[in-house]
C-alpha cells in the first residue's frame, strides 16, 4: 500500500515506517506524506495535516490487523496506580473464599456488625418497595431524610444545619471521598493521625493531595498529640481528618483534647477538619462523644460525616451523609451529581425509620452496644493474660488494636520468619484459621486489628485458636 498526500505549493516531504507492521515484507508499506513547509505554517494547515496523519494511522492499523494482532494499551492512570488496594477488603474476601471452600475460618477482619438490621428499619425498606418508592431520589437526598438528619444533629450533637447543608450519599465512605475531592487541590496536604482507617490516605492521593501521617502511641491511647499537630501544619495543610470513636483503635477523643486541637485549627484559616463520627453511638461509659463542629468557633471549619452502617447494622443498605457550610456541601453535591447521583430511595426510607428510633437509636442500639461491651471486656481480659501483648482498652467502636510486635523475629518451622504484622496475620490464618487485619494497613505495623463484631461464642473460639497458635512461640523481645 502506498499513500501520497499533497496539500500546498510549498511542500516538505516526510517518509516514515509504520510501527504497527511486522517484518513480513508482504505487508510493508511505503508512505509519502506531504506537509506544509515550516515557512508557511498556519493553524489550519497544521490541523489539516494532523487529521491526515490520524487517517493514515487508522489505515495502517487496519492494514496490519490481517497479519499482526494489535495489542490493547493496558496502562492505567498514574492517579490510580498511586492508590493501594484495601487490605481489609482483600483479607475479608480471601477469608470468605476459604470458608466457601470448606476451610473453617473465623473471620474477624471486616468492620461489620453481626446483628441483623432492626426489624422496624427493615420493614420501612420493604414498605418502600411495596408502595412503589423505587424511583430516582433527589441528588442530595430526600427532604424527609435530610430534615430528620438536621433534627438528629441538633438534638444529639448540638450542631445546627438546614437541609441544604446536608448531602446524603451511598455510605459514609462516599461522603468522605467527595469531601476530600471538593476541598483539596493538587499538592495540598491532608493530615491524618495514625493508626488510621485504611482509606484516608488513598482518598488524599485520589485528590492529588499528599497524606501527612502523624504517629500516635499506644501508651497515649492512640490519641493525637496537639504539639505534634501544630509542628506539622504548613501553608499546604488543607484538611485534618479525625475519627472518634476510632477505627481501628476504638479510642475516643475527650472533649478537652478536642478543644486543644480546635485552638490550633483556629490559627489556620485554610485548615479544615473532617470529623468522621460513624461510630458515635457505639461508645462505652464513662466515655462520651463530642462532635468537633459543636466546639466554639469550629462550625465553619468542620465537615461532619456520619451514617447508618455501624450503629444501626445497615452496612448493606449503603447510606451515609455529610453536613457542613453550604459552599463545601454544594461542591460535594456537584461531585455526586456527576458520579452516582442520589442514594437509594429505599435505603433512605429505612434511614428515616432508623432516626425515628429515638435519641442515639434508643433501646435497639443500646442493646447492641451492651453486647459489644461484653465482647470487648472478654477479649481485653483474655489477651491481657497472654505473654508479650500490649493493649489499649477501646472506649468505642468494635475493634481491638493489639501490639504483638514482641513476637516479630521468631522463626517458625514449616512457615518461616514472622517479620511483621502481615506475616503474623498469615501465620495466624494458616495455623489458627483466624482472619485478622495487619496493622501496617492502618499505619502501625506493631499491631493487629481484631474486630469483635461477632458473637461471644465465636470470639471465645477465635481466642483459643490464636492462643494455641502462639503458645509455641516466645516473645523475641522482652515486654
pLDDT digits (tens, 9 = 90+) for 140-156: 999 999 999 999 999 99
User: What is the band of 64 on the pLDDT scale with cuts at 50, 70, 90?
Assistant: low
pLDDT number for residue 2? 45
Residue 161 pLDDT exceeds 50: yes
pLDDT number for residue 13? 36
Residue 10 pLDDT exceeds 50: no
C-alpha cell, 418:
514472622
Sign of CA dihedral 236, 242, 247, 248: positive
Instruction: Report the pLDDT averaged over residues 8-36.
Output: 40
User: What is the band of 404 on the pLDDT scale with cuts at 50, 70, 90?
Assistant: very high
- Which of helix, strand or coil describes residue 437? strand
Residue 218 pLDDT exceeds 70: yes
pLDDT number for residue 3? 43
The per-residue pLDDT of the chain, averaged, comes to 88
pLDDT number for residue 85? 83
User: What is the band of 458 on the pLDDT scale with cuts at 50, 70, 90?
Assistant: very high
What's the order of all strands across the beta sheet hosting 399-403?
A: 399-403, 447-451, 437-438
- Which of helix, strand or coil describes residue 32? strand
Q: What is the pTM of this model?
A: 0.83
Residue 243 pLDDT exceeds 50: yes
Sign of CA dihedral 38, 44, 50, 53: negative
Lowest-confidence region among 80-84, 201-205, 291-295, 473-477 = 473-477
E strands, 324-464, are 399-403, 410-412, 416-418, 434-435, 437-438, 447-451
Residue 305 pLDDT exceeds 60: yes
User: What is the band of 14 on the pLDDT scale with cuts at 50, 70, 90?
Assistant: very low
Residue 430 pLDDT exceeds 50: yes
Sign of CA dihedral 258, 261, 266, 272: negative
Instruction: Report the pLDDT averaged over residues 235-242.
Output: 98
Higher pLDDT, 229 or 474: 229
User: What is the band of 15 on the pLDDT scale with cuts at 50, 70, 90?
Assistant: very low
Domains observed in the chain: 81-110+363-471 (3.90.1150.10), 120-359 (3.40.640.10)
pLDDT above 70 covers what percent of the chain?
A: 85
Instruction: Report the pLDDT averaged over residues 206-215.
Output: 97
User: What is the band of 54 on the pLDDT scale with cuts at 50, 70, 90?
Assistant: low
Amino acid at each position: 500500500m502506498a499513500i501520497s498526500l499533497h496539500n500546498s505549493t510549498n511542500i516538505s516531504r516526510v517518509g516514515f515506517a509504520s510501527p504497527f507492521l511486522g517484518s513480513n515484507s508482504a505487508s510493508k508499506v511505503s508512505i509519502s506524506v506531504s506537509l506544509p513547509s515550516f515557512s508557511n505554517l498556519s493553524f489550519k494547515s497544521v490541523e489539516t495535516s494532523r487529521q491526515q496523519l490520524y487517517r493514515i494511522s487508522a489505515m495502517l492499523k487496519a492494514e496490519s490487523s490481517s497479519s499482526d494482532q494489535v495489542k490493547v494499551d493496558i496502562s492505567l492512570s498514574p492517579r490510580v496506580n498511586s492508590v493501594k488496594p484495601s487490605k481489609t477488603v482483600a483479607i475479608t474476601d480471601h477469608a470468605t473464599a476459604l470458608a466457601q471452600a470448606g476451610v473453617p475460618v473465623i473471620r474477624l477482619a471486616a468492620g461489620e456488625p453481626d446483628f441483623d438490621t432492626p426489624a422496624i428499619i427493615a420493614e420501612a425498606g420493604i414498605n418502600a418497595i411495596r408502595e412503589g418508592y423505587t424511583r430516582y431520589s433527589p441528588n442530595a437526598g430526600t427532604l424527609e431524610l435530610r430534615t430528620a438528619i438536621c433534627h438528629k444533629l441538633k438534638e444529639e450533637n448540638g450542631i445546627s444545619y438546614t437541609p441544604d447543608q446536608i448531602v446524603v450519599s451511598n455510605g459514609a465512605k462516599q461522603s468522605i471521598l467527595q469531601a476530600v475531592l471538593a476541598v483539596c487541590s493538587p499538592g495540598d496536604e491532608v493530615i491524618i493521625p495514625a493508626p488510621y482507617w485504611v482509606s484516608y490516605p488513598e482518598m488524599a492521593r485520589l485528590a492529588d493531595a499528599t497524606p501527612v501521617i502523624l504517629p500516635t502511641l499506644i501508651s497515649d491511647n492512640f490519641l493525637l498529640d496537639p504539639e505534634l499537630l501544630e509542628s506539622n501544619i504548613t501553608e499546604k495543610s488543607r484538611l485534618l481528618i479525625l475519627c472518634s470513636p476510632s477505627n481501628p483503635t476504638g479510642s475516643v477523643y475527650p472533649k478537652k483534647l478536642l478543644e486543644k486541637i480546635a485552638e490550633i485549627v483556629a490559627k489556620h484559616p485554610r485548615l479544615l477538619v473532617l470529623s468522621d463520627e460513624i461510630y458515635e453511638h457505639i461508645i462505652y461509659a464513662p466515655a462520651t462523644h463530642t462532635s468537633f463542629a459543636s466546639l466554639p468557633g469550629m462550625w465553619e471549619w468542620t465537615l461532619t460525616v456520619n451514617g447508618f452502617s455501624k450503629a444501626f447494622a445497615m452496612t448493606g443498605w449503603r447510606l451515609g451523609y455529610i453536613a457542613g457550610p453550604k459552599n463545601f456541601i454544594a461542591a460535594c453535591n456537584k461531585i455526586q451529581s456527576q458520579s452516582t447521583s442520589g442514594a437509594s430511595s429505599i435505603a433512605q426510607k429505612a434511614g428515616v425509620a432508623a432516626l425515628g428510633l429515638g435519641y442515639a437509636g434508643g433501646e435497639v442500639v443500646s442493646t447492641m452496644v451492651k453486647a459489644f461491651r461484653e465482647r470487648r471486656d472478654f477479649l481485653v481480659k483474655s489477651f491481657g493474660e497472654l505473654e508479650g501483648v500490649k493493649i489499649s482498652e477501646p472506649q468505642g467502636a468494635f475493634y481491638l488494636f493489639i501490639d504483638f510486635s514482641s513476637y516479630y523475629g521468631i522463626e517458625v518451622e514449616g512457615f518461616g520468619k514472622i517479620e511483621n504484622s502481615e506475616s503474623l496475620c498469615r501465620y495466624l490464618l494458616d495455623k489458627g484459621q483466624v482472619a485478622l487485619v495487619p496493622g501496617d494497613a492502618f499505619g502501625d505495623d506493631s499491631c493487629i486489628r481484631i474486630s469483635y463484631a461477632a458473637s461471644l461464642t465465636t470470639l471465645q473460639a477465635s481466642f483459643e485458636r490464636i492462643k494455641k497458635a502462639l503458645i509455641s512461640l516466645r516473645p523475641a523481645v522482652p515486654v
